[in-house]
Chains A and B, each alone.
Chain A
Amino acid sequence: MTAPTSRAPASGSVEPAAFAIETHELRKQFGRIVALAGLTMAVPRGEVFGFLGPNGAGKTTAVKLLLGLSRPSAGRGNVLGAPLGDVAARRRVGYLPELFRYQGWMTAREVLALHCELARLPRAEWEPEIRAALELVGLVERADGRTETFSKGMQQRLGLGVALLGRPDLVVLDEPTSALDPVGRQDVRRIIGALRDRGTTVFLNSHLLTEVERVCDRVAIVDRGRVVAELRMAELNREGGVRLRVTGLDGAGSEVAAAFGPARVDGEWLAVDGIADADVPRLVAQLVARGGAIHAVVPTHHTLEERFMSLLGADEADGPDEADGPDEADSSDRADATRAPAGADTRAAAPTTEGRS
């Protein structure tokens, strides 16, 4: 796969809104089962936004509501400044579904051409768009193969190519790497990075926390149909510390380190939490000045997985199934009362220019 080229954003008559996606108390109920209990979130334009949660949290339901593929039972929302379900706004949205199939009798090139037509791209743009998409996802050599002969991974690559046709302003990817090998996953990460570079908003729904951690600017953690936390990855990374392998101090190391943050000694290893990256050289200098020999300095950060587990608990992170039934509304209220650090309104701050390191 190659990275998408930087091109001018698609023009639209609507003044760009500050947020690519905004929802307020969005609710979806299937009979007595509550799939989404009141989703309130905002996705700033130009960011890569991770949407995380255990199985049955309502992630795919939320994606379908955002794309107008399902109607909310209550609540409201906007996508690219237009109300949910607005047909015209979908011209500027690309979507890779989680479970999908293309017309098996069509070739990859024909599928892409069909979606160029469905996306209302001018015919003159079809050929370059199709060629760029095929190169982007590494399917040039299979462009004229029928999609029914494609492996799941190739189908997913094709789906990604389809989602990126026409330089959409918003790309919604639902588990984009679930069928890909490590090389494919790396390709997807590179493509997402390139999309961010050209100002495209990416809404990434994924179970793979390490994937999300690597590419996202911001994540929302959703549980039982509500956002229970929203994190900026840059902030999460600042919440780390450092581990040092030190000899020759005979316990004095923890006294020195205590000035920088909570410290503990574990054999030859000295761990210091909450220390800023900029202070690490000073800590090392002081330890050396006290006669210590430094064998290793290992920065540590709170991983997204640690934060995820602390918010949801190990039992749920293992993946409870879809809402259990009539008591779901009560249980989600209970969950909010005990877990929602961001409160009812988890709206994000203004778009940040801070990138991921």
Chain B
Amino acid sequence: MNSAGSILIIARLTLREAIRRRLLWALFGLTVLIAVLTWWGFSRIAEASPITGPVQELGISQVTVALAFMFSFVLAMTAVFAGSPAIGPDIENGLLLSVLARPIRRSEVLLGRWLGLAGVLVVYALVAGWLELGAVALATGYAPLDPFIAPVYLAGEALVLLTLAVVFSTRIASVAGGAMAVVAYGLGWMAGVVGGVGEAFGNDTLRNAGTVAKLILPSDVLWRGAAGALTPPEDVLTAGGVADAALYKFSPFSGAAPGPLWLIWCVIWVVGMLAIGIFLLRRREL
């Protein structure tokens, strides 16, 4: 059997574990609950709003982005807490000893674990994301710029953080690795805000700091992509009076679709980090 076959064995094992340990069921239950609450909440907002037209639409868009931000945070935490115990505990309790004595490489174990967890996260991000946006549309009729791509960006953000947590798990204890990944996520988000400020006010230092931070951890690139996809179309922004407002540009709840170079960098970053993870795992004593 080739390397892909070995990776798939471990990926399937990871998926089965997620199902057996009721992770998938918990995520599914939460998704349904949040979608229902979203529909109910947005229905009440639309009913209670004293204003209509573009301004109301702008308000709903901001609440939608805030909802997406909350979802992005939940996804990030899910990615970190699923990824940080991916390898380390299996080494510490001797589980990997019996697995790696079989004809399978350490790299295949790591990639299999990553692939299995990535599958869970991507399906969760897409299904839950589209369900929630569907609930918003149903309750308010609000149609953001690109409701289909936004959950894809969120899934990408989750993959970036999952990758970071899995790499940490090759060398760092689960709790410490998870904490480090959460802090990195928070810092990345803050750096995105700082970069936005630099962008808005033409400050190169702040803008460059934001860019460097995004290169180091590109999770915020993808969050901004999701936020951008959930903002109203240009005519609504103009009618709402915020199209050119500097304040809007650096809002943590604003964004724009990342350019192709940034998307390529995200892919390179994930592949590069997995390569580092494989290197670290190969050198670790069992």
Contact = CB atoms under 8 A, between A and B. Distances in A.
B100 interface: yes
A276 interface: no
A226 interface: no
Contacts of B101: 67-69, 90, 93, 95, 97, 172
Nearest to A90: B103
Interface string A64-84: 100111100000000000000
Contact of A87 (B95, B98, B104): B104
Nearest to B108: A87
A88 interface: yes
A100 B97 contact: yes
Nearest to B10: A118
Nearest to A105: B20
A120 B1 contact: yes
B234 interface: no
Interface in A69-122: 69-70, 87-88, 90-91, 93, 95, 97, 99-103, 105-106, 114-115, 117-120
Contacts of B17: 103, 105
A172 B103 CA distance: 15
B13 interface: yes
Interface residues of A, number: 29
Given A95-B98, A105-B20, A118-B99, A30 B285 contact: yes
Given A117-B9, A119-B103, A70 B95 contact: no
Secondary structure dominating the interface of B: loop
B32 interface: no
A120 B286 contact: no
A271 interface: no
A58 interface: no
A305 B102 CA distance: 34
A99 to B, nearest CB: 5
A159 interface: yes
Nearest to B96: A69
B98 A115 contact: yes
B233 to A, nearest CB: 48
A4 B95 CA distance: 25
Nearest to A98: B94
Interface string B92-128: 0111011111111100000000000000000000000
Contacts of B93: 100-101
Nearest to A94: B101
Instruction: Report, nearest first, the 4 A-B pairs whose CB atoms are least far apart.
Output: A100-B94, A118-B102, A95-B101, A97-B97
19 contacts: A30-B285, A69-B101, A87-B104, A88-B103, A90-B102, A90-B103, A91-B102, A91-B103, A95-B97, A95-B101, A99-B97, A100-B94, A100-B97, A102-B95, A114-B9, A115-B98, A119-B102, A120-B1, A172-B101
Interface of A: 30, 64, 67-70, 87-88, 90-91, 93, 95, 97, 99-103, 105-106, 114-115, 117-120, 159, 162, 172
